[in-house]
Chain A
Amino acid sequence: MKQLRFRRLYHRLTLCCLCAALITSGMSSTEAVRLTIKPGASNLASHARAQDNSSSEADIIRFLEQATFGATEELINHVQAIGFKAFLEEQYNAPISPYPNLAPWPAQRPETCTGTCVRDNYTMYPLQVRFFSNALNGQDQLRQRVAFALSQILVVSGVQIRQPSSMAPYLNLLTNEAFDNYRQILYDMTLNPAMGDYLDMVNNDKANATGTIQPNENYAREVLQLFSIGVNLLNQDGTPQLDTQGQPIPAYTQEMIEGFAHAFTGWTYAAQSGQETRAHNPPYYLAPMQLYRDRRGVDLNHDKGAKELLSYPGALRPTLSPNQDGQVDLNQAIDNIFYHPNVGPFISKQLIQHLVTSNPSPAYVSRVAAAFNNNGLGVRGEMKAVINAILFDPEARGDLKTDADYGHLREPALFITNLCRALNATSDGILNDASRTMGQDLFNSPSVFNYYPHQYTVPGTNTQGPEFGIESTSTALARTNFVNTLIFGGLRLPAPATGTALNLSGLQFVAGNPATLTSVLDRLLLHYSMSAAMRSAIINAVSAIPASQPLQRAQTALYLVAASPQYQVQR
């Protein structure tokens, strides 16, 4: 596995860090002056300029934690130079880091395929490695972040979809369309074969003659409950609408689910080139599903009755007319869903939760939902408008958030990438085992409800914290133990894997002064939010190690910050 390296500017950068840290820790002016004559002093001046700008360094670091897989020194400097808006434009235009197109293998695994053959062709392994490689090294950081968030809303799981070759097109769909339009995402996802397999959309036929076998309702239910409108009617601020008795109002009925189930009938896997089209084509995951048509072009497996769909003020097609073509029914059904007023707040709130904070104020949700409803040019569902609204909102921006309920627990994959990127890690991308022990086995969600439900409330509080849904005593210790492994010796794997190791040279450089070391980490990992009590706890622990052991000092300080709940929660 090719080792991935990061550009390392650490000689310049660690001095920049050092200078910045000295300024914030209030060292004597004599020492500050002495340091300005060393190489890299120009960064010192630009840092001082940045403090006068509206985008302070702390806010830049926070922004990068929301919009990428973790702030790096390089990106901090870059955003400082060009500003948030220009950076986002770059991100919108950055080349896409794809998932590999893998060759399909037989559904029944051949006996000759064992060991790494199984790993590479019958598990999510190649996609997991590519995820971490892209996250640690790819240019299109924001795209990958949004695609990752979408993969936790429109879930397909490798627990059921066994081959990575089947999953890759689904992941590429989300990656390619992350900045497009949500209606397109919904439509394309409905015809994605991995999704079709996962939620029984594929080969879902109209009822048989006697009516003893009915169309499968699985996809119909989940597309409403999870991918678009949710269970209850919502206000535009994301709060549930209540009836005159103060109870939530269901957004759909069992009859509507059956209506959609009938509307979605008649689709099968794409016929492969050279193959005769059948009512049920053999499994094929590399092209969208197709509507089965006999030689006369009749969609024989599609239900021709009328179908009851969602009813809401201004609803498009609350009922589908009978005798429509399956393609027409599908388009109208997707429109019926897409224009439901719930979609804006339902999807917006979850994207906010994935990128910024678990508990957005209703006002924040409604601002983002408004952008979903209309991008300013009359277009509904534009992802860029939603992303801009999320990241530029005052509730996302700022140096320091003081609201008690603000922030979100970094999910395992983000915790790993943030730490690795901040510390210039060298990695072969084989990090899913670590993520799995922390509760997040990538692309193997336990169910269509994701690793954790988006409404999960932290026990003992009234605060939502979805990522706490997998934060048990076992997974919490896994985080701490991962930090221990990574810092004290690195994550070592048997050859040919090369594992993951952090670059601690910058920290070692400043380890002679425990206060400076702590300040450098305060900036790097906590965007200057470290409390005085935490600071002195770290300084004490570092001081227990002789100055002649800078590596151990650096490791100790880094461990204490990385393992801390203050870093586990991104604020």
Chain B
Amino acid sequence: MKQMKQSRRDFIRNSGCALGAAALVSSLDRFGLVNAMTPQSADYKALVCIFLYGGNDGNNTVIPYDGYAAYNAVRGTTAALNIPKADLLQISPPSAGATFGLHPSLDELQTLFTQGKLAVMCNVGTLTQPLTKTQYQSGAGRPESLFSHSDQQEQWQSSLSADAGQTTFTGWGGRLADNTTSLNGSSTFPMIVSTAGITLFTTGVNARPLVPSNGLAGFNNSAASTARYNALRQILTLNANETLVHSAGDIMASAIDNTNTLNQALSGSAALKTVFPTTSLGNQMKQIAQTIGVRNTLGVKRQIFFASLGGFDTHSNQFGSQGSPAVGGLLQQVSQAMKAFYDATVELGVAQQVTTFTLSDFGRTFQPASGGGSDHAWGNHHFIMGGAVRGGDFYGHFPTLALGGPDDPSDEGRWIPTTSVDQYGATLAQWYGLSSASISTVFPNIGRFSTSDLGFLM
């Protein structure tokens, strides 16, 4: 689809060229185009977020092997939510000083862990401040609406758990994009690409995600078609004083242009050799890999991707959903898709430049709920994968698996996180290239925690 009109931004940039350099910078600054003057980053990096919607049960994802008895004491009761010890895929993280086991569906992740390309972030979750059990019970500050799906998803995606009532319009992925646009130089292609629709994570003050598709249909090079296209483009800019109309028009215009740019780049590129599973997550990871494959055509040096998988809210029949010792389930889908994606980054020669990480609403109660499932909880275990990961190890603190124990302010086994979402995100963001000066812009509450770099990335 050929562009019939100059975009407004092109027009503005071109018209500024006649001015002197200093005046140019200050006048362009009004349009947010100062970044256009700085050169692109020399290297390429990408962050890939996989959000597991519903609250993945970390207690059955990363399980103590040496310490199995404590796990089995609660999960191996009549409720029988336990994974048999013999089925665990053993891993030996040096920091933990003990052997653990991954859920039996996670074969591929076990391999990556052993190869040093995968790390486990233990007991990470939403926090307004570091919190011990005693502090929690004495009423110290805690995140709003714990155990509520929508609120916790928002807090994981925004990193904002403090200041109850703080209106959350942006996510940390979006704010990260806002504050690293200079690394992409003059490219106007959206930094964020989402294969899972629009989310808070992908929304910044200015950043908006591109959700790929086949693009605008129904036009050709005839005079009539061209006239219709021009009229459409013009109409998209009208009634700009009407808020919702203006937003709809903007979304449509950027959809037409950016989708076209991406599709042209993809159609001119060679197919990947890596085979991806044809699952929901597999298809998304394939699309992301293909997009990384055309990064040079797109002219980008930094990209943030968002993918997701749902179905993790296992209040009942958890084995049927997450995966039992015998049946693959959702965790199998995650494991296979992540491994295929890693292989694709190797094929593309960017394995050390792409870091993939998981998020989820919350963990689940250590104590089973009636129906063969578990209820909403808090701190959870997550995976970080890539060639730049200091893999094969655990980070953070693995909770004591005891109901009402030192990590559990309840009686159902809801671990108070020992690492916050802010810290997790800030570690990823700094590797990505976020400057120290900008960390608190992207993670406003990072100052409440002891460190902004957890050390799991090289």
Contacts and interface: CB of A to CB of B under 8 A. Distances in A.
Given A473-B255, A531-B238, A556 B367 contact: no
Contacts of A140: none
B210 interface: yes
B203 interface: yes
Interface in A434-478: 439, 446-449, 453, 457-461, 463, 465, 468-478
Contact of A560 (B146, B232, B316, B412): B232
A488 interface: yes
Among B145, B165, B208, B368: residue with most chain A CB under 10 A = B165
Interface stretch (A74-82, A199-207, A332-340, A375-383): A199-207
B218 interface: yes
A350 interface: no
B304 to A, nearest CB: 15
A490 to B, nearest CB: 13
B272 interface: no
Interface residues of B, number: 78
Contacts of B437: none
Q: How large is the interface on A (under 10, 10 to 19, 20 to 34, 35 or more residues)?
A: 35 or more
A556 B228 contact: yes
A505 interface: no
A247 B145 CA distance: 13
B197 A566 contact: no
B210 to A, nearest CB: 5
A448 B248 CA distance: 26
Interface in B212-250: 212-218, 223-224, 227-228, 230-232, 234-236, 238-239, 241-250
A538 B228 CA distance: 8
Contacts of A446: 53, 310
Contact of A205 (B232, B241, B255, B370): B370
Among B149, B212, B245: residue with most chain A CB under 10 A = B245
B375 interface: yes
A538 to B, nearest CB: 6
A213 interface: yes
A569 B238 contact: no
Contacts of A476: 248, 251-252, 255
Contacts of B425: none
A407 B246 CA distance: 12
B276 interface: no
Given A204-B371, A473-B210, A248 B224 contact: no
A123 interface: no
A541 B216 CA distance: 18
Interface string A80-101: 0000000000000000000000
A205 B316 CA distance: 13
Given A231-B148, A565-B248, A474 B74 contact: no
Contacts of A447: 53-54, 149, 310, 313
B136 interface: no
B148 A221 contact: yes
A218 interface: yes
B140 interface: no
B235 to A, nearest CB: 5
B251 A231 contact: no
A470 B197 contact: yes
B316 A212 contact: no
Interface string B64-84: 000000000010011100000
B243 A533 contact: no
B149 A477 contact: no
B251 A248 contact: no
Contact of B244 (A208, A212, A408): A408
B216 A204 contact: no
Interface in B74-111: 74, 77-79
A563 interface: yes
Contacts of A559: 218, 228, 232
Contacts of A247: 164-165
Nearest to B414: A254
Contacts of B211: 472-475
Given A200-B316, A481-B216, A565-B248, 14 more contacts: A200-B315, A203-B370, A216-B315, A247-B164, A248-B165, A472-B251, A473-B259, A477-B215, A537-B231, A541-B231, A545-B227, A563-B232, A565-B235, A565-B252
23 contacts: A159-B310, A204-B370, A210-B77, A216-B315, A221-B148, A231-B145, A240-B165, A248-B164, A254-B147, A406-B242, A409-B244, A447-B149, A459-B203, A460-B247, A463-B244, A468-B244, A472-B197, A472-B209, A537-B231, A564-B232, A564-B236, A565-B245, A568-B245
Interface of A: 159, 200, 203-205, 208, 210, 212-218, 221, 225, 231, 240, 242, 246-248, 250, 254, 358, 404-409, 439, 446-449, 453, 457-461, 463, 465, 468-478, 480-481, 484-485, 488, 531, 533-534, 537-538, 540-541, 544-545, 552, 556, 559-560, 563-566, 568-569, 571
